[in-house]
Structure 1
Amino acid sequence: MVQRPGAALALLVAVQFMLVLDSTIVAVAMPSLGAELGFSQGDLSWVTNAYLLLFGGFLMLGGRLADLVGRRKLFVASLVLFAAASLLGALAGTPAVMIAARALQGLASAFAAPAALSLLMTIFPNGTPEEQKQRNKVMGIYGAVSGAGGAAGMILGGLLTDWFGWASVFYVNVPIALVAVVLAAKLLPADRDNAGLSGGFDLVGAVLSTGGLALLVYVLVEAEKYGWTSGRTLGLGALALGLLGLFLVVEAKSRQPLVPLGIFRKKTLRGANLVGGLTPMAVIPAIFFLTLYTQMVRGFSPLESGLALVPLALCVVIAATNIGHVLPRLGLRWTAALGTLLVAAGTLWAAQIDQGAFFVEQFGPEILTGLGGGTVWVCATVAATAEASEEEAGLASGLFNTANQVGAALGLAILVTVAGSTTSNAIAGGTAVPAALTEGYQTALIGSACFAVLATLAALALLPGRTPTSSES
């Protein structure tokens, strides 16, 4: 029993804020970082890709390790690694060291994120109606912090880079992570006495799952560069899917599987992961293209571009912190569907951008997209973790985080290709570059709306009316 659940919640959401902040704060500093360290234009993308590969590849393993070795133990170890990786990034003097630091940050985040979510599930169970209400409130706070962290990263990244240089975006993580390590021992529940790997560890499953997922993320982030129909993309994509298919075969026969396949019999969990994967395919590209539009077409500075997305981030916070009051009345299915429809409406409205006034063409779409995104995030998180037993908490968290990450990477890869192709065709037809870029972003945002509609259909078909409990699975 946790003596101070409120303080434990504050610690876990603070770490989540740091992890989300890190994913965007570095992006703003990349031009300065690349110039000082001597990155080529092509290699600079690996500051992001190295993080994404390790984060996406190890999320499922991180979630299962939380169950096997102990959630608090893994949480603390991952924070120590994250602090060390951040310090290495701040002190980096060459591109190779910087890429290594970002890879280690991705690995640490892949262990910390599911460990934190599974700790929340343990501290705030969902057995009784009162506990469900409390769990919904907690997930709302968790989602709000995630949304706020993304926007804060863009704003804080611009300020820190302008005032103290690019290294400061790495230094800022070190004291936060180390303070969290100290507080974890006092505030978080101790691991079970039987936590550990004494029962055996599925090494083959771990290699296949991490290798398959990492390779899949790599194929997605590089698809636009090499082409979706190139031999490289198709070959590596087939290899990634083959590794994941072999992983399922191994897990079905393993006595101590990394991922017990029985967890996929839970219909609500399957639906939640599908909705949780499709929604980022809409929201993350929308944020990406609006950022490009404000800078490449409207001429905003990075800081101004970050400030322009504040309405979206604030609406994520508002929706996530208040949707817990709506969930018991509308139920998971209709609340999630409402959220995905708001995302669809917001991104379709955003597709009308054409160098008009900000409050006419961007403010309204951001409001709808932010409200919808915050709503869906909470619904999908509640649904993904509702049926999981205490022994499956880390696994359920890892699966949900993986669905989010792979969904975001897939949506971005597809829509970047769509936008690039549309822009190239427009330029070839004699359209001026700013107008051609805008046309590409418009087409991509229509694609975001299509993914949101698919998420709506998945929510209506697969999510239950009321929130199930782990005892019902």
Structure 2
Amino acid sequence: MTELTTEAQSAPDKSRHLGWALVLISVAQLMVVLDGTIVNIALPFIEHDLDIAPENLRWVVTGYALAFGSLLLLGGRLGDLYGRRRIFMIGLVIFGIASLLGGLATSEATLLAARALQGLGAALASPAALALIATTFPAGPARNRAFAVYAAMSGVGAAVGLLLGGWLTGLDSVFGLDVEGWRLTLLINTPIGIATALLAPRFLKESESHPGELDLPGAVTGTLGLLGLVYGISRAGTDGWGDTWTIVSLAAGLLLLTTFLLLERRVAHPLLPVRVFANRTRAASYLAMFFAPAAMFAMFFYLSQYIQTVMGYSSIKAGVAFLPFCIGLVVAAGISSNLINRIDPRVLAGIGTLMAAGALLGFSRLPHDTSIPMADLQGDYVTDLLPYILLMAFGMGMTFVPLTLTAVHHLRTEDTGIGSGVLNTMQQVGGALGLSLLGTIATQTMDDLGATLTNAAQTAGVPISPEQLTIAQHQIFTAGASDAFLLGAGLMLVASLVTWIFLTVKHQELATDGPESAPVHVG
């Protein structure tokens, strides 16, 4: 009787303990993801205050993305070898300190170095966060709900970054102290990151460590290979695929990654064990998560510009325009976490990717007319944007939860960190590649239409007024963005095809624990 009473009392305590563990992991993941976009709106202010050359300004964003994307595999493996909670905490502390340095930066070099250091901290914390969910929460509904929250944080982070960045940038004082608003977009991370790291030992258990097994040659070749690949892809989006440094960077990255894969087959303790990809369901999840974020980034990148440039929204109003996406994705993730207990992941993710493809197709139909004289057309938020923003939100909510679950399902305990690192890497590299491909097709469309407009004006011998030029630029941008949305819909359909064909795991199997080599009894 006493034992039963003790068990009854410990159940709520355990539930509260898991609840706080999820809060810490979610806050960390949200902070890491939103930092990719939170400074976007602040870029003009950063350029002015630190006197950064326009051609170097993009490094404020890409510097973070490069460090984050190239170090994720190493960060995931370090968690497996030296303790996931320890690496999670170290990553958060580095992230917090880097944010402080960036917020107090008085020169371009200091800010760019701080952004790269933030990327390092994120690369340590993010895969550890996902791995901690897989190892802290028991298989079944509890883990499904935890993954739903994690997926929601990953999905809404970019939108929250735009909203928070717009609000913070508009501030000129805090607690009576004068401060440039853009600095707050970085400084806000410091207390949150440090506090989360300090609370981690209380609510998160440490994993078994395996010091001395770090594959140093694999770490060097894998990290440098990813750095070359991500840099080349990012550069292609601004300088073109034929640019010399784009080609050199991509070639070097692919050569190093090939060397990395050859090395991994010969070492006793590889950084990236081949067995991680041996499971067809897991491999399919990685591949689908490569294409899906690439398409989703199109919405944030081009739609945020369209709302501000063509529709004339302020930065804060543009951020508010994405609030329905945040709300819709959180609701959809919650629904998906319940449905995954009764419906196979292939069905949920398959329907979700089709919904997202439909949303991108809807965005591609934004009103524009590139004929001459130009028509002053603007999309209406309620009729032309909101329905597709919500459709995209529900589609990604239905996609992220099952794919995140299946990506780490039945991994060996010692591989959970690297498995999480692979998933994050696929998202980052896929997003960078997708954005560069979308940027290429959008830029080509804009350049072609711009040349046509100039030639037509010269042929007619009629000068274009400033008002007409502005209208023309708006319509040309919309035409280019529409082509990008159309390509994004195609990428999402590829993700859907991969999901429907290869994601064969049953929902009953997700309620089981243990590595794939262990026998699985499906009820």
Shared fold per TM-score greater than 0.5: yes
- The equivalent residue for 2:463 is none
| Contact in 1 for aligned 2:328/2:394 (Cα 8 Å) | yes
Q: Distance in 2 between matches of 1:263 and 1:19?
A: 25
Deviations 1:162-213 (A, max 9, x none): 1132111111111111111211111110232xx1423x32110000110011
**Paired residue type of 2:391:** L
| Match of residue 139 from structure 1 | 147
SS of 1:329's partner is coil
Q: 1:334–1:465: 8 Å Cα contact kept in structure 2?
A: no
TM score, norm. by length of structure 2: 0.86
Give the counterpart of 2:408 among 360, 385, 403.
Answer: 385
> What residue number does 1:77 align with?
90
Q: What do the CA deviations read for 1:409-433 (whole angstroms, capped 9, x no partner)? A: 1100100111111011111111821
More displaced, 441-450 or 149-158? 149-158
Distance (whole Å) between structure 2 residues aligned to residue 228 and residue 89 of structure 1: 31
Instruction: Tell me, in whole angstroms, the C-alpha distance in 2 between the residues paired with 1:284 and 1:155.
Output: 16
Q: Which segment drifts farther, 311-320 or 66-75?
A: 311-320
* 2:516 pairs with 1:472: yes
User: Matches of 2:417 and 2:500 in 1, distance apart?
Assistant: 27
Q: Equivalent residues in 2 for 1:18-417 (5 A)?
A: 18-126=31-139, 132-164=140-172, 165-192=181-208, 195-198=209-212, 200-354=213-367, 355-417=378-440
User: CA 1:226 to 1:148, structure 2 compared with 1: closer, same or farther past 3 Å?
Assistant: closer
Whole-angstrom distance in 1 between the partners of 2:223 and 2:76: 12
Of 451, 462, 476, the residue aligned with 1:428 is 451
TM-score, normalised via structure 1 length? 0.95
Q: Give the Cα–Cα distance (whole angstroms) in 2 for the partners of residues 150 and 52 of structure 1.
A: 13
1:189 is paired with a residue of what secondary structure?
coil
Contact 2:311-2:379 at 8 Å conserved across structures:
no
Counterpart for residue 5 of structure 1: 18
Output the CA distance in 2 between the equivalents of 1:47 and 1:225.
Answer: 14
Residue 233 (structure 1) shift: 2.2
Of 437, 456, 481, 1:441 maps to 481
Deviations 1:94-135 (A, max 9, x none): 001000000000010001000111111110132xxxxx2221
Q: Which residue is equivalent to 1:129?
A: none
2: CA distance, partners of 1:400 / 1:173: 24
* Higher deviation after alignment, 346-355 or 310-319: 310-319
The CA distance in 2 between the partners of 1:454 and 1:100, in whole Å, is: 37
Q: Any idea what SS the aligned residue of 1:74 has? A: helix
Distance 2:358 2:30 in 1: 28
Question: Secondary structure of the equivalent of 1:228?
Answer: coil
Does 430-439 or 9-18 show the bigger shift? 430-439
Shift of 1:322: 1.4
Task: Give the letter aligned to residue 197 of structure 1.
Answer: P
Q: 1:316 to 1:380 in 2, by over 3 A?
A: same
Task: Report SS of the residue matched to 2:171.
Answer: helix
Structure holding more helix per residue: 1
Instruction: Give distance in 1, aligned partners of 2:237 and 2:37.
Output: 21
Q: Residues 304-330 of structure 1, C-alpha deviation per residue, up to 9 Å, x if partnerless?
A: 111112222221111112101222332
Q: Distance in 2 between matches of 1:15 and 1:465?
A: 30
What amino acid sits opposite 2:259 in the alignment?
Answer: L
What is the Cα deviation at residue 465 of structure 1? 4.3
Unmatched segments (≥5 aa) in structure 2: 1-9, 173-180, 368-377, 455-471, 518-523
Displacement of 1:27 in angstroms is: 1.5
Q: Which runs of 4+ in 1 moved over 6 A?
A: none
Aligned amino acid, residue 221 of structure 1: S
Shift of 1:295: 1.5
Instruction: State which structure, 1 or 2, has the greater radius of gyration over its C-alpha atoms.
Output: 2
The residue type paired with residue 168 of structure 1 is L
Deviation per residue, 1:218-266 (Å, 9 max, x gap): 0111103322133432232122111111101000001121111122111
